[in-house]
Amino acid sequence: MAIKVTAIIGSNRKESYNLKLVNYMKNRYAGKLDIEIASINDVEMFSADIEENPPKGAMDFKLKVRNAEAVLFAVPEYNFSIPGALKNAIDWMSRSGLDLLGKPSFIIGSSMGVLGSVRAQMHLREIISNPKLQPKLLPGNEVYIGAIHTKMNEQNDLTDEATVAFLDSVVENFIKYYNEVK
């Protein structure tokens, strides 16, 4: 049976490459991963004043993560870190519910630059190492897809064979890891 994965896209841009990448994965790995996207776009700004009673956008997002069997992060890089909208969604997950705790997870990311969001992903790993977040994160298997705009066609399929082969291997590794730690 396919693993029920909630994908958290770190971009709130309509034409996001990270969103396109996850949609590509949704098709390519159908049958292995059942990917549902949890959008960060409607998650209200976190405030400790409302944390006990999260508003609808935040609550919907939290429940999609909480009810998933596994989580996939797809992150771009903004100013050497993760986008603020993603940090806001993560702050919500760390309060009233601890939605991410112990959830088998893996991280991918892409950017138009050559580094493929490496600094954002390193920062994300540090952020989610907080004891209130701490998913069971797939070790190794770091996916930095640089120059993403040259690796997709107009149908938003990943066309770079080496990247596709690498992503295939990471997904297989994640499935093995999931079955060990779930």
Nearest-angstrom CA–CA distance, 14 and 29: 23
| Rounded least distance, CB 115 to ligand FNR, Å | 5
**Cβ distance to ligand FNR smaller for residue 111 or 121:** 111
Task: For residue 166, give Cα distances in angstroms to 21, 112, 141.
Answer: 14, 18, 9
| Rounded least distance, CB 49 to ligand FNR, Å | 28
Q: Which residues bind ligand FNR (CB under 6 A)?
A: 11, 13, 16-18, 76-80, 111-113, 115
| Rounded least distance, CB 65 to ligand FNR, Å | 19
| Rounded least distance, CB 77 to ligand FNR, Å | 4
**Cβ distance to ligand FNR smaller for residue 75 or 133:** 75
- Strand 33-38 to strand 104-110: parallel, antiparallel, or no bridges (unpaired)? unpaired
Q: SS3 letters for 29-82?
A: CCCCEEEEEECCCCCCCCCCCCCCCCCHHHHHHHHHHHCCCEEEEEECCECCEC
Q: Which residue is nearest to ligand FNR (CB)?
A: 76
Nearest-angstrom CA–CA distance, 174 and 161: 20
**Cβ distance to ligand FNR smaller for residue 67 or 80:** 80
**Cβ distance to ligand FNR smaller for residue 16 or 156:** 16
**Cβ distance to ligand FNR smaller for residue 51 or 160:** 160
Which DSSP string do the residues of 108-131 spell out, in sequence order? EEE-SSTTTTHHHHHHHHHHTTST
| Rounded least distance, CB 31 to ligand FNR, Å | 26
